[in-house]
Structure 1
């Protein structure tokens, strides 16, 4: 029987979570680079460029790829002939201790996002515990651990349905993809689980996301199994939807499609779909009693050299003296470089603002005529002004938007992903604007922030209202003052273009 030290188990989990916070897997970088090279849509190509530049910066700086450093999911396979040297804590407790150490690491603190209880109260646990842990007993004398850190923007775009045995999985997936919007930050990977029960299908989909990206290899040699044939069909047909990078329209929506299956009841066909975003983070290692896991540190030359977008042809916008005429001159899909003072606010801040105004209370900062950036930044380290500070999904703020425009008087918003129909109507009615920053480029965006201070709701932590002073922060006009949304026009245009290419 092989003995594995508890301290090695915990340290390996902590090291693994730090590792994946700033290192993309090599296969992901290569697949994203291929997508960049072939992309014909300029907005999509620029977005992929930012993702790749951000990835390389994070690898060099050992700082998070994304401000949402994720919920920890651990698949632990314990060999039946393996033994821990101490048995006073469970496997789940040991994983949680590793999570705690990783997320509280002073050299690279990671954002804690877990709240407990999940309904009433919702207090942040402060150390990102507990993890979601799946344990299996397997033959052998080693312990295998697969770690993933899943951000909320992708994890909660998951879909599930029990199909009839004769129903088409392809048709269902193609029906679901457009409903997922861009909050999962494509291009990414789609995991599909087929069979078992409801919870088993979801687990299969999640497990599949830990596999190596090999779609280009499959395409080059041709599919050799029925599952590979299904993967290839879905890959081509999903990309033919034209959703593209960040939902802006383009050639690549998915880099790969992964499928796991399991026997199921004769009367049904459970199917689950879980996306992995542009902040794909996972690592696999084995503990054999010889010490802490040795993680495969990548060679920084593996990252492609991507030139930053030429800013000389872009419009610079000064937020401090922006006029209504300026806002109404912004064109859909136009890239702007923001300068000046930008306020931040997410779900909790929006709710408190609404409650305070309804109660007749004064706000801690005047929001009239200001722009709000939907962000919850990572804490800074060293001489950083702010940690990685990428956008969160704007759709969550839709329920507050009419109030924020009509009662609070904000002039515009910055976030990621699409806005709902009612919100677009409100933007048009108030001649406001919604700007989109690239999800998956958090560290790169943080370098545009020159000053940062909390100006309201300090008790909300990363959800407090900050005032950022930004310099040349790149954004795309996603909904203009006339209500034109590039998340609607872009995919429609590219779906037609791709269909024409295939004929």
Structure 2
């Protein structure tokens, strides 16, 4: 008879796993990204990959989160029919206890992003619980756990379609991926679930992302089934879209495409698509009653020796404390800048509150005229850090506020990640402003450019409060210049490869 699995072993193992994946990339992701880095011909995309790889190594050495968005915890639990838990508590209760322990560890806190009541109050739970837990009963006497931490930027790009049985999944995937933009922080993975029902397709897509990355091996040996042929076709054609790292244009957008299938009603073909970002965080462990799981720290020589640092030669340095509209007007889309000086922070909740104050005729708590604002929600600092990992958040969420902010406050520069929508670009052009991007997936590296941080307003918003950073040589790319030219349109159009058989770009 199997040994009972104790509450402590389950909770401790899961909490340790959550902390582990916040710091360490799976070796297969690093291996495939390093190979893509070596192949890349786009200088902008190659530089972005270099930052992601250097950030990953720095996070592993410093034992700090690789990304400021430490994600929603997803847990898949397979319970053997003969397995025994020495507890009277519900499984989800133990999962959520593990999440709370992992995210509130004072020695290395993770960012709490979960809000209770999705419709109205949206109040932060402060522990990042609850997790999203799925349980399956299987044969055997052990418990297998798969855990992932899914960032909001990639999760928001999940898509579903109820296709007709004769429709092309490949065509739908290509059209869908091209419409996702760069908010999911490529290069990463695409997970597909095909068949079953709507919820089954999405669940398969999510779980497929936890399979090992094996595209290099698959390409080397060749496909052995129609499903593997489809994976290769989608891998080639998605990369031929030219989206590239961070949407800057390049050869590699995805490192792998995963596909899971299930029998389906004859009248149906449900397809779920979920992208995985550059913060590819997941692992699995098994409990048999003999004690908690132990996770082996990967050897640091598993990372390529890429010590990215901003090079002064050829890069324009920008003093944020003396910034003028004339300065901004001289920047061009695709140019790399090094920012130094005082940089404000603020994202969704802060923008919503400021716009509401403007509409009521109230004075804002901060003067934004001729200033730059960074869309970021950092991790809390530890030790001698002034701020924890502080990578950018997806900027399109601020698009509804952009016209009001530029018009009413005199704000001059915005910094985030991914593309901006048409209305936001028009507002940027109309007001002679600019939009810059930092590399998503390089949060720990970016934080090293931040010399000090102080709270200015909206303390109740937690990680979404308005702060003032003092930065030194913070690397950014001009994504939308004052003429309204967008690198997220220019870059992919230059690297698109129609000879691979990708469809004509819509619009």
Instruction: Give the TM bin, normalised by the shorter chain.
Output: over 0.9
The SS at the match of 1:270 is: strand
Are 1:304 and 2:304 matched, yes or no?
A: yes
The SS at the match of 1:148 is: strand
- Distance, in Å, in 2 between the alignment partners of 1:223 and 1:186 is 25
Tell me the equivalent position of 1:118. 118
Tell me the equivalent position of 2:408. 407
Tell me the equivalent position of 2:387. 386
Structure 1 unmatched runs, 5+:
none
Question: Post-superposition shift, 1:360?
Answer: 2.0
- Distance, in Å, in 1 between the alignment partners of 2:145 and 2:437 is 37
Tell me the equivalent position of 1:463. 464
Question: Post-superposition shift, 1:296?
Answer: 2.8
Tell me the equivalent position of 2:327. 326
- Distance, in Å, in 1 between the alignment partners of 2:79 and 2:499 is 47
Tell me the equivalent position of 2:221. 221
Q: Is contact 1:242-1:498 (8 Å) kept?
A: no
Tell me the equivalent position of 2:346. 345
Question: Post-superposition shift, 1:364?
Answer: 1.3
Tell me the equivalent position of 1:37. 38
The runs of at least 4 aligned residues of structure 1 exceeding 4 Å deviation read 496-500
- Distance, in Å, in 2 between the alignment partners of 1:270 and 1:311 is 51
The 5-angstrom pairing of residues 468-479 of structure 1 reads: 468-479=469-480
The 5-angstrom pairing of residues 47-126 of structure 1 reads: 47-87=48-88, 89-126=89-126
The SS at the match of 1:384 is: coil
- Distance, in Å, in 2 between the alignment partners of 1:464 and 1:16 is 29
Are 1:484 and 2:485 matched, yes or no?
A: yes
- Distance, in Å, in 2 between the alignment partners of 1:91 and 1:488 is 47
Structure 2 unmatched runs, 5+:
502-507
TM-score norm. by structure 2 comes to 0.97
Tell me the equivalent position of 1:418. 419
Tell me the equivalent position of 1:190. 190
Question: Post-superposition shift, 1:422?
Answer: 0.7
Tell me the equivalent position of 1:141. 141
Q: Is contact 1:378-1:386 (8 Å) kept?
A: yes
TM-score norm. by structure 1 comes to 0.98
Q: Is contact 1:339-1:472 (8 Å) kept?
A: yes
Q: Is contact 2:162-2:271 (8 Å) kept?
A: yes
The SS at the match of 2:84 is: strand
Task: Give CA-to-partner distance per residue, 1:272-304, whole Å, 9 cap, x none.
Answer: 100000000001000011111011321111000
Question: Post-superposition shift, 1:324?
Answer: 1.3
The SS at the match of 1:454 is: strand
Tell me the equivalent position of 2:374. 373
Task: Give CA-to-partner distance per residue, 1:52-100, whole Å, 9 cap, x none.
Answer: 000000001111010000000000000111111122x111111111001
Task: Give CA-to-partner distance per residue, 1:182-230, whole Å, 9 cap, x none.
Answer: 0000000000000000000000000100000000000000011111111
Are 1:173 and 2:154 matched, yes or no?
A: no
The 5-angstrom pairing of residues 203-282 of structure 1 reads: 203-282=203-282
Distance 1:86 1:484, change over 3 A: same
- Distance, in Å, in 1 between the alignment partners of 2:412 and 2:398 is 15
The SS at the match of 2:496 is: helix
Q: Is contact 2:66-2:279 (8 Å) kept?
A: yes
Q: Is contact 2:96-2:130 (8 Å) kept?
A: yes
